[in-house]
Chains A and B, each alone.
Chain A
Amino acid sequence: MEEQLAELAAKIAELEAAAGGAAVTNTMFAETFYYLTIPLMIIIHAGFLAYEMGASRLKNVLSSGVKNILAFAFMIPTFYFFGWWVYWGFPTGFPGDPGPAGISGIEYANAIALGWGDSAQYMGPNIADQASGVFFGAFALFAATTASIMSGAVIERIQTVGFIILAVVLGSFAWVVAAAWGWHADGWMVTQWGVHDFGAAGLVHAVAGFFALGVLINLGPRIGKFNADGTANHIAGHNMPLTVTGLMLIIVGFFGFLMACVIVPGEGWSWFADKPSTIYGTPITLSALAFNILMAVAGGIIGAWVITRDPFWMMSGALAGIISTASGLDIYFPALTFIIAFSAGLILKFCADWLEKRGIDDAVGAVTVHGTIGLYGVIMLGVWGSGFPALQGAAGDAPTISLIGQIIGAVVFFLCGFVPGYVVSYILKMFGMLRVREGAEIAGMDAVKVPAEGYPEWGANAPNAAE
């Protein structure tokens, strides 16, 4: 008997050790999972950098790059200083009351997301916290993505500091408010209206796209873009292959972006012990993402090819394909994803042309690709995904996805982007901090802002250098 008890005790000890080892492995896996999304999302930024520089004329190529690089650099610390705090503080709206899931509100944000006091323990190296840093990193890169989206639209005439102020307002505040409201289990748009935006079509893309529109209205078009009768001229970038390659890099980075939208299982902060979930606590698999992202890319490219035959618009179609389906990548059937993405590719150029006819000079089509198609994606989920519980649990206890809820979400996302973009750029314009002087714009912003040459062998004899 004693021998059997000893044997039993040894087996229990062995099982306990194995369980402890499994828990450590799972924690390390969870930390690594989010850690790897960070470099993948930096590829998005590399893509936007190449895309913008290629879309700039030779005289502006480096200044466009400098602007984009600085946006990234300022986004990280400002998101650390206050963006992360805004996300946790205001899901229920203002003034920041705690929500039903118990992971929101000013007090909660003060406890975990400030870089001083007791809260600072979660904002720096801490052997007992293997989650905060990687979550922060993933969110900071979402923020950098929003700034990059705006960055391309305003090339070749914006002031550097004015642009950085706008990037900080967008990346560390505007989209964060939209995310708190519509991408958090306590978010009021989720708990009251069932808004579902798994892959951030509205709260990242539409917010950034319409923020850019607000800025463009005050910034005005590049010199030479429009004729006296209002017709538009095409201003070609200096390097289409670089632009198209940049767009492809953005697609690569999107796999990291969307991977970071998944909550891994088995941790204290996970929704499930045994399966991954969305940020809303509803189940998802990486297989779902693999099926649907790939079909979305393909559908968007094919749709844009039918209309334009232009590689710039085809790769923009790939982006539009993902963005148009991002809200429901967790629950769409892949063939339907393809069809929705195809439709986004078809309408893309028409939407961009419509905007241009209204005097808006969006140099890379960011308002259309991210803004218009982002809202299209949010509403498409209302058409195809109605009836799904928007949060963990059952309908009745949890709100369900509906067309009206998604339309409300789309309107709020539009306002979260457009209003701050317009207001802040208007203030910058009043202080003379928005647009470069005419002479500098004509000379080229590289000559004014950058002590280096993009293509030094070409020098002043470069094609279109003095245009």
Chain B
Amino acid sequence: MFPYEQASWDVVDGAMFQLWGTSMPGFFTFAAMVICVLVLVVGQRSETEKAKRFD
């Protein structure tokens, strides 16, 4: 979605990424943070699991 009322590059004078002006950028940032944390949790569990096989 173009972030300005008029779909024209002539009116763009600032942020120009998609969905600017909505809550979506914040949602994406939150989702990216959650992905990072989840990946670390999953990674820790599976690595511990594999390491136990060498006990």
Which residues of B have CB within 8 Å of A306?
39, 42-43
Cβ-defined contact, B2 with A302, below 8 A: no
Chain B residues with CB under 8 Å of chain A are 1-2, 6-10, 12, 16-20, 24-25, 28-29, 31-32, 35-36, 39, 42-43
Closest-by-CB residue of B relative to A384 is: B18
Which residues of B have CB within 8 Å of A145?
none
Cα(A234)–Cα(B18), bound, Å: 42
Q: Which of B17, B28, B43 has the most CB of A within 10 A?
A: B17
Q: List 16 A-B contacts (CB under 8 A).
A: A283-B9, A295-B32, A302-B35, A306-B42, A306-B43, A331-B18, A332-B18, A335-B31, A338-B32, A338-B35, A387-B1, A389-B8, A393-B10, A394-B7, A394-B9, A395-B7
Cα(A338)–Cα(B10), bound, Å: 29
Known: A282-B9, A392-B9, A400-B7. A336 touches B39 (CB 8 A): no
Cα(A280)–Cα(B6), bound, Å: 19
Among B12, B32, B43, contact of A283 (Cβ-Cβ < 8 Å) = B12
Known: A306-B43, A333-B17, A387-B1. A393 touches B9 (CB 8 A): yes
Known: A387-B1, A389-B2. A332 touches B7 (CB 8 A): no
What is the number of residues of chain A that contact chain B, defined by CB distance less than 8 Å?
29
Among A282, A339, A396, A400, contact of B35 (Cβ-Cβ < 8 Å) = A339
A305 at the interface (CB under 8 A from B): yes
Main secondary structure on B side of the interface with A:
helix
Cα(A305)–Cα(B42), bound, Å: 11
Which residues of A have CB within 8 Å of B42?
306
Given contacts A283-B16, A395-B8, 4 further A-B contacts (CB under 8 A): A331-B18, A339-B35, A389-B2, A393-B10
Cβ-defined contact, B9 with A333, below 8 A: no
